[in-house]
Structure 1
């Protein structure tokens, strides 16, 4: 299976297979890398490591096309380490053993090995453990690459031995520099108007490799005059936004949507809602999460919010996509502009915590039913005051376990309908104090 990993020996492609532009423009030094100053700058983690000569194992976390493989290869060049590249998708345990044995022989001969593992999150936890002894004894310097959150996908032992560095999607200025570099290498400019050029950069969605592939396509066209944005759009499809419905992108965007609603920003909420729909998210999932927002963040400050969410959800089920999505969007806007209160949610969590803490405490006997003579003899129901017979329809009795005492969990806020509920809470508290004094 030796063909499944790159041992570091370059293989020249046949003359009939020209190298792709992205490969031809691969940086030859770290100084040529576009973007990622937050890890490559002189005061950034990699800059400090290289300056001090203390390069340690690393995990690069970032979206596709931002330079993870390139930077790993250049790190090996900068530190005179032998570069070996494998992919967790195609590499099994026997292949790893061969890599480690070759690294040991190389180390005995005086040269270290930088092992670059692409898609490292694809290895299971046991396979990840297999790297540890070889990292600890210096057989390999591990550089992993992942598009998934390392906190969830890599085990703690591996993370404790490697520094996680975040590589960011390229900004428009970085993509413009990359496009200019491509034009210089090809000896001509892109046949695009300024607006079309900006549209092309947007199509790459922060992915440098995708941009170079698009540039290569555009340069192959035979056009008599620069194309405008509309003409470009008719010839090229916009790259689909990166989004994994079961991964990090999913949770990042639903978090952004939820916090936009909580922050009373309907415009941001609509934006994140649209982003998730465009990425293929199930509108039913969004309807369910939005209903949860009504319960958690609006609560009793606007009791109608929950009903509007359920109505929007039901409307979607009746109309389907795309018409039904408007009903969910309307509910979203209503939530964003509704008064906010998490008092009921906070009270519920506090009550759950108290219930776990107090265990099996019995209710006070006066509020227990006594269907048998034996239970009556043991005081069940004795002294119970029927609230409807009391003045103001309120007896003021204590309903908590006797050894626990009365505890306040629900603290309504001075917003929306909950202002009225707060007045009722305070009213019954005053009556309860009066009943105690009498």
Structure 2
């Protein structure tokens, strides 16, 4: 095994090493979770079984095993393991890594280069990996908490396989907790409810769980602690949320689709998740207004007023009282009738306008403020709708070279049902006028 694979903590007495380090798996079979990647029929399992390991990008939240799996891959494939962090490394460090890898390759040993936080490298730095990946000098294994589609160069992605690692489930966290208890030689002083609360506090992060267990095992308590006692002694971990990153867009998408799907309970949950994560309520107010226009629209025209009023209420009351007004808007939007007929009509009309942007209006609907314009036929034959039968002239208002097109097709839901009747009524009158 390469010296680069050896951990500096190997020389430290086991009792003084952090629990997370002591429980680090020695083989891939000891890794808890991630069966969608490590299983026999999963991508990484198939690669190892075939003896053909390709460059990989591990995408997932913190504490789910990205670094551990990378180390074990190097161990099981007899590659030298080199780890760098994009936070602390630049071009000079990369050059040294590549030069050392070339020397190993000349001596018959490959190099697995693990790049933590690879998304923090800029485009030029990411491009530097390409020639060394192509000639086999390095096998790149990158780790990122951000969506690789947005953060990594397409050239790097095309030469790698993205593997998604997921948060540990409650059952997997319980397995990790049991492993920690075996290592420490005693059980945690927690009752059944407190154990469940502990798994919840870890929020799918194995490293966080082991750190919490270390704290708990250091306490001197008389008997098992219940949930309330545990909560007093431990701070709940902040929910994973990045207001400018991938999680931000995931949660607002979940909120929007829950509203569109008429599920007020799920919508309130995602609304609460974003507020708990520190989202600006004004951003949520703006997005709620957008939902009222995009998904409820004319099926319930009052929805826009509800959202605007909720926004104004928040501005006057502030947080946390004003957040209740926004929550009520969430409920209203989720339960309102839905239509995107106006949205579809708008896009279709814009598309038609782009394609026929130079066609003039028909002359009969043009104003004629001058004698010359009247001589050119401007306004000639215009029928004033208020003077017409039923207040409807039935004249053509499209360019003379274009056929009449129906963009707006109202649905039979909410107030738009009434608009559908009006559309049908005017279509009937138009046909009568034309006949």
> Distance between the aligned counterparts of 2:165 and 2:290, measured in 1?
33
2:200 to 179, 199, 202: 202
TM-score by length of 1: 0.97
Mapped pair 1:322 → 2:316: no
Alpha carbons 1:85, 1:116 under 8 Å: kept: yes
Mapped pair 1:411 → 2:409: yes
Q: Deviations over 1:387-437 (max 9, x none)?
A: 111111111111111122211111100011111100000000011111111
What SS class does the counterpart of residue 307 from structure 1 fall into? helix
Q: Deviations over 1:50-85 (max 9, x none)?
A: 000111000000000000000000000111110000
Q: How does 1:7-406 map to 2 (within 5 A)?
A: 7-12=4-9, 18-406=16-404
Alpha carbons 2:177, 2:210 under 8 Å: kept: yes
What SS class does the counterpart of residue 85 from structure 1 fall into? strand
> Distance between the aligned counterparts of 1:372 and 1:129, measured in 2?
66
> Distance between the aligned counterparts of 2:386 and 2:263, measured in 1?
45
Deviation at 1:375, TM superposition (A): 1.6
Number of equivalences: 432
Deviation at 1:115, TM superposition (A): 0.3
> Distance between the aligned counterparts of 2:219 and 2:15, measured in 1?
19
- 1:3 corresponding residue in structure 2: none
What SS class does the counterpart of residue 144 from structure 1 fall into? strand
Alpha carbons 1:169, 1:207 under 8 Å: kept: yes
TM-score by length of 2: 0.97
> Distance between the aligned counterparts of 1:11 and 1:205, measured in 2?
29
Deviation at 1:8, TM superposition (A): 4.0
Deviation at 1:18, TM superposition (A): 2.2
Deviation at 1:126, TM superposition (A): 1.6
- 2:430 corresponding residue in structure 1: 432
Deviation at 1:131, TM superposition (A): 0.6
Alpha carbons 2:5, 2:71 under 8 Å: kept: no
> Distance between the aligned counterparts of 1:11 and 1:292, measured in 2?
54
> Distance between the aligned counterparts of 1:15 and 1:332, measured in 2?
56
Alpha carbons 1:178, 1:208 under 8 Å: kept: yes
> Distance between the aligned counterparts of 2:172 and 2:141, measured in 1?
24
> Distance between the aligned counterparts of 1:283 and 1:322, measured in 2?
10
> Distance between the aligned counterparts of 2:334 and 2:6, measured in 1?
58
Alpha carbons 2:55, 2:161 under 8 Å: kept: yes
Q: Compared with structure 1, are the counterparts of its residues 210 and 94 closer, same or farther at alpha carbon in structure 2 (3 Å cutoff)? A: same
> Distance between the aligned counterparts of 1:419 and 1:330, measured in 2?
25
Alpha carbons 2:127, 2:156 under 8 Å: kept: yes
> Distance between the aligned counterparts of 1:407 and 1:136, measured in 2?
55
Gaps of 5+ in 2: none
> Distance between the aligned counterparts of 1:160 and 1:112, measured in 2?
21
What SS class does the counterpart of residue 376 from structure 1 fall into? helix
Alpha carbons 2:5, 2:75 under 8 Å: kept: no
> Distance between the aligned counterparts of 1:356 and 1:126, measured in 2?
38
Alpha carbons 1:8, 1:85 under 8 Å: kept: no
Deviation at 1:171, TM superposition (A): 0.2
> Distance between the aligned counterparts of 2:326 and 2:379, measured in 1?
49
Q: Compared with structure 1, are the counterparts of its residues 403 and 17 closer, same or farther at alpha carbon in structure 2 (3 Å cutoff)? A: farther
What SS class does the counterpart of residue 71 from structure 1 fall into? helix
Which 4+ stretches in 1 moved above 3 angstroms? 6-10, 12-17
Gaps of 5+ in 1: 1-5
Deviation at 1:370, TM superposition (A): 1.4
